[in-house]
Structure formats: C-alpha cells, structure tokens
Structure 1
Amino acid sequence: MTKTAWVFPGQGSQAQGMGVELQNSSIALEKFKQAEEILGWSVLEICQGDEEILSRTLYTQPCLYTIETILVDLLREQGKSPDVVAGHSLGEYVAVYTAGVYDFATGLKLVQKRGELMDKAEGGKMVALMKFDRDILNSIVSQTENVVIANDNNEGQVVISGEPNAVDAVVSQVKAKLTVPLKVSGAFHSPLMATAAAEFSQVLDTVNFSDATIPILSNIDPIPSTDAEIIKQRLVQQMTGGVRWREIMLQLPLENVTQVVEVGPGKVLTGLIKRTLKGVNLLNVETISTDAK
C-alpha cells in the first residue's frame, strides 16, 4: 500500500508576503484573528513588513506555524490527509498539530514560548557546511568540545552549532566546498540550549497532549510514534538535540511512502528529498486558491 507524507519546513523558509493570499478564506481569517489575540501582534502585518523583523526568531516561528497550520486546514477542507507527518525543527510543531495532538491555540502558545526562549539565546554560533567528507567531519566534531551537528539535512549538507571558537575550529579543519554562517544569536539544537530546554520543559508539563491520529517522525528520533508522552518528550529533547532530517527522509520508503507533500513556504525540504530519494512523487503547497465565504 502506498502512502503520502506531509512535511513542514522550519525557520529559514519564511518569505515576505507569505500567507497574504490566504485572506480570501474564512478559515484563514479566523486563524489570523485567533493568532493576533494570542500573540499580541498581527502575523499578516509582520509577513508584509520589514524582512529583518520577520527573520527574528521571535516572529518567524509563530508566523510559520500559523500559515502552515492554515494550509493544513485548507487541505483537509478539500478532503486530503496524510498517512505520516514530519517537520523540520519548528515544522515539527505543525506536524504535531496535523496529527491531532493539540489544537491550534495550544500549539501557537508553545511555539511563541519556544521562539522567545530561542530569541534570547546568546553566545552561540551556527554554520552550514555543504559538500564535505562526512567521516572527517564526524571525527573532528567528536574530538572538539562544545560543538555538535545540529542539522543533518542530507548526505552533503549539515549545520554545526556550538560555542563560536569551537565552531570556527571545526570549519577550519573540514574542507567543505561551501560554508555559510547562519544569522542566529544562539547555538540552536545543541547542549548550549539546556537552560532554555529546561524552562520549556516546565511549560510543556502543563499542557495535555493527546495520542496522535497520524504517526509522527520526529527530529530527535525518526521512528514514527503516536504516543502522547513520547511526542512531548521528543519536543523537549529537540531544543538541545540535532535535527536528524537525513534519517527521516531515509525512513519514508520504509513506511511505504511514495508521495511527499511539502506544506509551507519555499521548497527547501523538497530539494533535500529529491537529492536523497528516488522514485518519490514530490508536491509543494505554498498557497491554496480559495473563494471568499
């Protein structure tokens, strides 16, 4: 039996103007209104405003979550549904919403808190590496304190994260074809986020999760699960643990997935999957034509 996976992009996929065309939908308008009541600011205004502001973690994450969950609702209105779900970093919160673990408002409040904690993080550095010797990279990272592989995106693309000097030391020793410092203040998905993760864990403890109606492939563990407590614990671990996206992609064929739909702005995940898996049908949903109702 063939299956469809929905995957959701995370921070870095945002773009000015995203979500604006969704205003013709009553579903979207209700979500935008609800989001403004929770956040205290307008997602649509931020998405149409200054790019620097939109790129701040504090704003990026709630904006992406809101727009991607709206797209999920609109796809469902068309009678579509996935067999498995996964999201890249922040995108995992949309996957959890899609699987019915919590409602829109609960997820948005978690994302808002997560974004605030990450936005306050200081003293870290993240650098993307493209085309390198993986064995050499793994060896150097294992021998260097205070640096980890934060995002394992595919065989030839990773992000390392940690203390600036440690990150620079790894970069200087690995002969990557391209290195790109990320515009972040903190060492996301590394042990340096332990304090933020502990605070976030306390917030999560107060939230009731339901068992998922759709299996979720997690960043911290690509083996699918529907268990509420496992899903919650994986979200806590995600803040200090790496995004194992390469392994998630390799898991998809084992789940008999033959079609992957990227739901959200951009085509970052589609590109990664295209370079990793053969024979998988790839689709993108960045917007949905809607009639005013």
Structure 2
Amino acid sequence: MVKTAWVFPGQGSQSVGMGMDLMTHAASEARLAIADEILGWSVAEICQSPDDKVSNTLYTQPCLYVLESLLVDWLQEHGHTPDLVAGHSLGEYGALYAAGAFDFAAGLRLVKLRGELMSQTSEGIMAALMGFNRDELDAKIAETEGVVLANDNNPGQVVISGTPEGVDAVLADVKSKRAVKLNVSGAFHSPLMAPASREFQEVLDAVEFRDVTIPVLSNVDPTPATDAATLKQRLSQQMTGSVRWREISLSLPELGVEQVIEVGPGNVLTGLIKRTVKTLQLTNVGTLEQLTAL
C-alpha cells in the first residue's frame, strides 16, 4: 500500500464557483442544510456570487471548510483513507475533521468564529516574498521589532506579518525577486492577533476534541500527534503562531509518505510541496470530476 497524506489548503485558494459541482449533488443537500443553519447564510450562494463575496474573510473560511468537509465525506464513503493529514492555516480545520478530532458542526462553529474575528482585525499588514536569501531574511526579521515570519511556505516563498513599520523595514532591506503586500484585514499569524486569539480560546475551550487514529501534523508543531489534548493545544496557538509548511513538506518523505492528495480547491499546496520535495506523487481533488477519477 502506498502511504498517503491528505493536505488541506487555506485562505487564498478560494475562487468564485468553487465546489458547485459537489454542492449541487443530491448527496450534499443534508450537509449544506446544516451549514446554512449554523452560518445564517447560504454557502452555495456565496460560492457562486459574481461579486466575489467568497473572498471576504468572513465568508471564505466557512466556505472552504464546508467544501473540504464535503470532499472528505465523499472520499471516505468511497473507501479512501489517509495515513496522515495536515492543513495550511485554516486548512488545519479540514485536516482535523478528516482525522475525526471533532464533528462537522463543531468544526464549522469554530471556523465561523475564526472568520468573524479575523475579518474584524484591522491592526497590522502582511506581505509575501519570493526569491530571497533566507539567512538575510531571518537576520532582518530577528533585528526588526514588530514583524514575524507568518508562513514559511517553501524555501523560496514566505509571508511576513506585523506592524506596517516592521513589514516595510524588512521589505526595504531584503532583496527579493518579488514582494507583494497582501490584501488582508490584519497581521494574521503574528502576536498582533493575540486579542482575537484570546476571544477564540474561550469558545475553543468548550469544544470536545477526540483522540484520533490518523496522525495530524499541525502548523505550529509539524510532528505527528493523535491525542485530543495535544491537537487542541496546538490549534489554540495557531492564530498567533507561524505556519511551518516547509517543515511539514520536508517531514512527509521522512514519515514514509509517497503520495500527497490536496483536498480542496486549486493546487496551492501541491505547488508549494513540489518546490520543496521532488519525490512525492502529487494529486489534486477539488471537483467531482477529480473525485471520480481518483
């Protein structure tokens, strides 16, 4: 048997019309009805809204979680099971659902609150850098107040996060092939998210997590874990902690993984992994056609 990891993308992978082939399938009606009741709005309507409402953080996060959950349900119902799972930022919720750490409704309530809190955050900015000297970047971040490495995606792509002054200082002094400030409401995955994280923690504390048999590699600690307390504690750190995706990618072959299936829209994660690890077989499953082809 080929050892397989399922990975789940986060915010930035969404697009207008994503998942509509699956959402209009009769098998999805019951799950979407539960989602719409919890959210107070229609996931399908937001996903196909022509004015790109799906890219508003308030809507993006629940929509991605719902779609990834539908994909997981279909895969599991057709006999597919991963040997381990991981998710990028928001995608960690899809990974935890796939592993069985919580049920669909509990996960969606957490994601709904997460999206609301993050959409209300207005402090700080984020910027992506591509093609840079890693030692130079690390040194500059270390000496600059108010900026952190938010997403360590692969050796040639990172996202920094923090105060406008801190981010601008790094961008001014570190040479890169490309640097782009991101269109986000705040400095995600940085200490500036601490107030939102504390409010989120109050709700997270009340959610029951279960021990799982499928190991989860978390953003803040990319080592396999299966016990409920560890998975919950790692998730509690995620809003202010860095996304260590490069380390997750590097650990996959070390853990014996040969195949990676990206469960969600687009191919962001397989693209990142491909530039980090050359030996893995990469597959994308984000549409009904791709599901049936698997």
Residue number in structure 2 paired with 1:17: 17
User: Which segments of 5 or more consecutive residues in structure 2 lack a partner in the other structure?
Assistant: none
Deviation at 1:230, TM superposition (A): 0.8
Residue number in structure 1 paired with 2:196: 196
1:248-277 Cα deviation digits (max 9, x unpaired): 001101110000000100101011111111
Residue number in structure 1 paired with 2:43: 43
Any idea what SS the aligned residue of 2:129 has?
Answer: strand
2-structure distance, mates of 1:52, 1:24? 19
**Residue 247, structure 1, aligned to residue 243, structure 2:** no
Any idea what SS the aligned residue of 1:80 has?
Answer: coil
Residue number in structure 2 paired with 1:179: 179
Identity of aligned residues (%): 62
2-structure distance, mates of 1:244, 1:51? 33
For residues 153-172 of structure 1, the aligned pairs below 5 Å read 153-172=153-172
1:192-248 Cα deviation digits (max 9, x unpaired): 000111111111111110012210000000001001111111111000000000000
Residue number in structure 1 paired with 2:74: 74
2-structure distance, mates of 1:28, 1:218? 28
Deviation at 1:2, TM superposition (A): 4.1
Write the letter of the residue equivalent to 1:137. L
2-structure distance, mates of 1:280, 1:110? 32
TM-score normalised to structure 2 length: 0.96
Count of residues in Structure 1 that have an aligned counterpart in Structure 2: 291
1-structure distance, mates of 2:29, 2:155? 40
CA contact (8 A) 1:74 1:288 kept: no
CA contact (8 A) 2:21 2:287 kept: yes
CA contact (8 A) 2:189 2:241 kept: yes
1-structure distance, mates of 2:91, 2:167? 25
Residue number in structure 2 paired with 1:130: 130
1:82-102 Cα deviation digits (max 9, x unpaired): 000000000000000001011
CA contact (8 A) 1:222 1:247 kept: yes
Any idea what SS the aligned residue of 1:130 has?
Answer: strand
1:21-50 Cα deviation digits (max 9, x unpaired): 113533322111110000000000000104
Distance 1:125 1:24, change over 3 A: closer
Any idea what SS the aligned residue of 1:131 has?
Answer: strand
Residue number in structure 2 paired with 1:143: 143
Moved more, 1-10 or 175-184: 1-10
Write the letter of the residue equivalent to 1:274. K
CA contact (8 A) 2:8 2:87 kept: yes
CA contact (8 A) 1:85 1:216 kept: yes
TM-score normalised to structure 1 length: 0.97
2-structure distance, mates of 1:24, 1:158? 36
Moved more, 26-35 or 83-92: 26-35
User: Which segments of 5 or more consecutive residues in structure 1 lack a partner in the other structure?
Assistant: none
For residues 201-280 of structure 1, the aligned pairs below 5 Å read 201-280=201-280
CA contact (8 A) 2:23 2:44 kept: no
Residue number in structure 1 paired with 2:60: 60
Any idea what SS the aligned residue of 1:18 has?
Answer: coil
Deviation at 1:17, TM superposition (A): 0.3
Deviation at 1:7, TM superposition (A): 0.2
Moved more, 277-286 or 239-248: 277-286
Any idea what SS the aligned residue of 1:186 has?
Answer: coil
Any idea what SS the aligned residue of 1:177 has?
Answer: strand
CA contact (8 A) 1:192 1:240 kept: yes
2-structure distance, mates of 1:183, 1:222? 27
2-structure distance, mates of 1:172, 1:31? 48
Any idea what SS the aligned residue of 2:243 has?
Answer: coil
Q: CA RMSD in A?
A: 1.3
CA contact (8 A) 1:9 1:88 kept: yes
